[in-house]
Amino acid sequence: MKDRVNNLRCTIRAVAALSLATTFVVSTNAVAASRQAAVVEAPRPSYARVADLVIASPAIAHVSVKKLTAIPAERAPGLEPGMQRFLVTADTLSLIRGNDVLAREASFLIDLPGATGAKPPNWKGRAFLIFGKVEQRVDFFQLLASNALISWSRENEEMVRRVARDFAASDAPPLIEGVDSVFHVAGAIQGEGETQIFLVTGDGSPISLSIVRRPDEQPHFGVSLGEIVDEAAAMPERNTPLWYRLACSLPARMPPSALAGQTSAEASAAARDYAAFQEALGPCARTPTPLD
């Protein structure tokens, strides 16, 4: 009888130890899964949004938030109604771009929706990519704008690094400032024709667009980089530097000044082709991603 009791006690202890170990493993796995989910679920910004931030920012940093401190309204000049200003203190994890030094612990100001005295969001431990510049104070990062930050994830950081590298390349496409001139030539048969559109660029380098139509075929769109219009040129791939320059910089409508010298029929055809080219490019989606 005594042996049976001892055996029962040993069995109970073994089951309890196994249960505790299982609970620890499940708990550990749950924490890891939660952290992984937090990274996976970080909102993915659009290519155009990232390009806007990268191009305008001398410095880009990866930081982890330690705390947020509310700034009284009387010490927050320029604060818009319905907004609350916070001083964000964060650990600098890496400086992705910038020739300046950024302190290991740095701070930045941000305006968030909420009434004065509102409770700050629970950002402790959250990682962000922030865009702006570092000036005289190496412990202070000046955001490009109050919404110039995106939630960190491995994918988001890789995207930011790729965009920064592409626009720093020697062959990166220039800023497009407008449309210089347009020419439309009708074909020998009904429904045939070609429109060539010459653009104005920030550095004076030539960029031209071509729209070729043939009966019973979809229009062929091309972009040529150079003095000579390349008949084999194609539409740039979406979410690339050239696509961004075109989709986000071309005027919404053909400027009348670019149509000088064209007949009414030619001008109408050129405007139609220009609109078709923009539709083929797709929209420039640059809305900021939510932070919460």
Q: Where are the CATH 2.40.50.120 domain residues in the chain?
A: 47-168
* Separation of alpha carbons 131 and 96, rounded Å: 10
Question: How far are the Cα atoms of 20, 193, 208, 256, 260 from residue 264, in angstroms, in the given order?
Answer: 83, 15, 22, 11, 10
Question: Is the C-alpha dihedral spanning 10, 15, 19, 25 positive or negative?
Answer: positive
Is residue 289 exposed (0-12), middle (13-18) or buried (19+ Cβ within 10 Å)? middle
CATH architecture for the domain at 47-168: Beta Barrel (2.40)
CB atoms within 10 A of CB 125: 11
What pLDDT tens digit does each residue of the chain (292 aa) get?
445 434 444 443 443 443 433 333 333 343 343 344 344 468 899 999 999 999 999 999 999 999 999 999 889 999 998 899 999 999 999 999 987 789 999 999 999 998 777 788 899 999 999 999 998 899 999 999 999 999 999 999 999 999 999 999 999 999 999 999 999 999 989 889 999 999 999 999 999 999 999 999 999 999 999 887 777 789 999 999 999 999 999 999 999 999 999 999 999 999 999 999 999 999 999 988 888 6
